[in-house]
Structure 1
Amino acid sequence: MSLELIVRIERLRLRAPFRISRGVKTHAEVVVAELRADGQVGFGECVPYSRYGETPASVQDQLVLAGARLATGESARAVVDALPAGAARNALDCALWDLEARLGLGGVAERLGRAPAAMATAVTISLDTIDAMAAAAAAASDAPVLKVKLDAHDPAERLLAVAGAAPGARLIVDPNEGWTLPVLNAMADTIARLPVIMVEQPLPADDDAGLLGLAYPAPICADEAVHTAADVLQVADRYQVINVKLDKAGGLTAALAMADRARDLGLGVLAGCMVSSSLSIAPAMWIGAQADAVDLDGPWWLVKDRTGGCRVERGVLYPPQAGFWGVSGARP
């Protein structure tokens, strides 16, 4: 079977600036892989992340080299497995899952034995002024879970403002490595008074020893500190939950293994994503279907998502239209 890989970079405009402790973005920059064979096309999307030394250009270059290997007749699975964990491998792995379904080799639901249904997802409240965060929380107050981006500047005031504006929502607190241990400890009383279901990566991944043996009022979730299944054991003594993202793990195949490893070690699973289109979220829903909590609101941030993609309404993520990704037959 002859395989052709086509790669392109896309910039998808956001409905509002997306701010975290490390910076702000107004567009989602994604790389799309189209894997072609026998008249069928499999699609995959990834989000390069500068935190891990990735850029859209560097990821595109990785995929172009992978395409050259495919053109020599090397098997697609071997080429995927040769890529390092990260965005490029994610795009190619997901494109391969999709292509194999299009070629009649088994849809993702048949191969995994389940099909994701609608699921509650966290809706992100971007880091902003206290008043702006409260207003954003009020606008999303019908969502069952809000993910609150914070840094070390007035975190309690911002968190309390969000909680007050959306009193019915459970909260995920996400400083994106922006706190120190003293800040984390100072926030304990506030977090204990609120319906916080987890605190995600409060300390820098390379400076998290203070979490060892820490008794905290909410579970601590590892994000930047853990990328693949091989990393999970290394952080199991400091974290209670693992954020499984396809862009970190390097595709659906690796993300499934990562989630299984977390479960084996008695850790919770958060299904996470980058700001992305439904082409990233459709495969991630298979992680969400087995997760303790879901944070897959990437397309909610876009001015325009892909036709037939997922939708988020009142904090519920609905699967894409039939034929969008990972199933036999033509796309709608």
Structure 2
Amino acid sequence: MSRTLQAQHDRFELIAPFRIARGVKTAADVVTVTISDGVASGRGEGVPYPRYGESIESTLAAIEGARAAIEAGADRQALLSLLPPGAARNAVDCALWDLEARQSGRSVASLIGAPEPQPLASALTIVIDSPEAMARATAALAAAPLLKIKVDANDPAAQIRAVRNAAPDAALIVDPNESWNQALVEALQPLLIETRVALLEQPVPADHDAWLEGFTSAVPICADESVHVAADLDVIARRYSHVNVKLDKAGGLTAALELARAARARGLGLMTGCMVSSSLSIAPALHVARLSDFVDLDGPIWLREDRPGGVTDESGMLAPPATGFWGTI
């Protein structure tokens, strides 16, 4: 049975600016893919990330280049050689998972051989601002079990202390988004202990992290920009204790599950993360989240309006989408 593929740019306005060390976002720009066999349709979403040289235009062009093979019936395994890791492959791979579920009458969880997604604790993000403003933002979320603090190299100690004081009981992830250097990481070790930081995420640039091989950190350090696919783990395992698995980096749920399982086999801790996105990005990521020690899937919480039937958050507990939204029948 022949297929048709549709790919389009969708934009979701944010409820507030999302500031990280790399810049600020006011909208989530995504690529939505729909693959249909004439009876059933599957959807997937990818978020092009400029940090990796991606744009909406380049992502759409990559999908267009693979259109003929996909419409001719290429499966998820074939897709691994058709497209490189990234947003384009993620959108197509997730659409193929959703289509397979609908064609087979089985959920994606059933296809994987896993339990259906359940509500779980997912980090709520405190974006970069003055320490006073970050404290106010934290106070509104203080009941959440897990918070993620975005910082840069401009007085991160004051920002981290402000959040910790406003949320004395929450577990904290600190994410400098590659903005620190070795000297700052070393100097802030006592502060990370003082504020009981549970995880430090990608503190230094991915191409300047070799020194971590000889460094013993006071808190676990998680690779984000430094790790994309399972093949990266030979190096990563010598530098980091945890890896952040994102479907947009790995290039879909298929590769993300491979990365997560390979990381676990090496004794590495796991985090599941996301870009600022709609719930169509989050639904497949929930199948990696159940394997993870830390979950950071609050992308849709930043949207003024999500896709209907998407995930919901209540005080840091993320509930799966409505039945039929993605990967369920």
**Conserved in 2, the CA contact under 8 Å of 1:133 and 1:161?**
yes
State the secondary structure of the residue aligned to 2:326.
coil
Deviations 1:229-288 (A, max 9, x none): 111121111100000000000000000000011001110000110010100000000010
State the secondary structure of the residue aligned to 1:10.
strand
Letter in 1 for 2:29: E
Identity %: 52
Partner of 1:50 in structure 2? 50
- Does the alignment pair 1:135 with 2:136? yes
Question: 5 Å matches for 1:248-259?
Answer: 248-259=249-260
- Does the alignment pair 1:14 with 2:1? no
Q: Displacement, 1:10?
A: 0.9
Partner of 1:191 in structure 2? 192
Letter in 2 for 1:264: A
State the secondary structure of the residue aligned to 1:111.
helix
Question: 5 Å matches for 1:1-332?
Answer: 1-71=1-71, 73-77=72-76, 80-81=79-80, 82-104=82-104, 106-113=106-113, 114-328=115-329
Letter in 2 for 1:51: R
CA distance in 1, matches of 2:150, 2:134: 9
Q: Displacement, 1:77?
A: 3.1
**Conserved in 2, the CA contact under 8 Å of 1:69 and 1:79?**
no
Q: Displacement, 1:215?
A: 1.6
CA distance in 2, matches of 1:198, 1:107: 33
- Give the TM-score normalised by the residue count of structure 2: 0.97
Q: Displacement, 1:79?
A: 5.0
Q: Displacement, 1:20?
A: 0.7
**Conserved in 2, the CA contact under 8 Å of 1:123 and 1:297?**
yes
CA distance in 2, matches of 1:304, 1:178: 31
State the secondary structure of the residue aligned to 1:91.
helix
What stretches of structure 2 of length at least 5 have no aligned partner? none
State the secondary structure of the residue aligned to 1:134.
helix
CA distance in 2, matches of 1:148, 1:41: 38
Q: Displacement, 1:303?
A: 0.7
Q: Displacement, 1:104?
A: 1.7
**Conserved in 2, the CA contact under 8 Å of 1:42 and 1:98?**
yes
CA distance in 2, matches of 1:202, 1:194: 17
CA distance in 1, matches of 2:17, 2:78: 36
CA distance in 2, matches of 1:54, 1:65: 15
Sort the Cα spacing of 1:235 and 1:127 in 2 relative to 1 into closer, same or farther, 3 A.
same
Letter in 2 for 1:29: D
State the secondary structure of the residue aligned to 1:258.
helix
Count of equivalent residues: 327
- Give the TM-score normalised by the residue count of structure 1: 0.96
Deviations 1:112-154 (A, max 9, x none): 2221111000101011111111111111111111100011000
Q: Displacement, 1:155?
A: 0.4
Q: Displacement, 1:111?
A: 1.3
**Conserved in 1, the CA contact under 8 Å of 2:97 and 2:327?**
yes
Judge which range, 53-62 or 206-215, deviates more.
Answer: 206-215
**Conserved in 1, the CA contact under 8 Å of 2:245 and 2:256?**
yes
State the secondary structure of the residue aligned to 2:89.
helix
**Conserved in 2, the CA contact under 8 Å of 1:233 and 1:265?**
no
**Conserved in 1, the CA contact under 8 Å of 2:122 and 2:146?**
yes
User: How big is the alpha-carbon RMSD for the aligned residues of Structure 1 and Structure 2?
Assistant: 1.1
Q: Displacement, 1:311?
A: 0.8
State the secondary structure of the residue aligned to 1:25.
strand
What stretches of structure 1 of length at least 5 have no aligned partner? none
**Conserved in 2, the CA contact under 8 Å of 1:176 and 1:202?**
yes
**Conserved in 1, the CA contact under 8 Å of 2:76 and 2:254?**
no
**Conserved in 2, the CA contact under 8 Å of 1:19 and 1:126?**
yes
Letter in 1 for 2:79: V
State the secondary structure of the residue aligned to 1:151.
coil
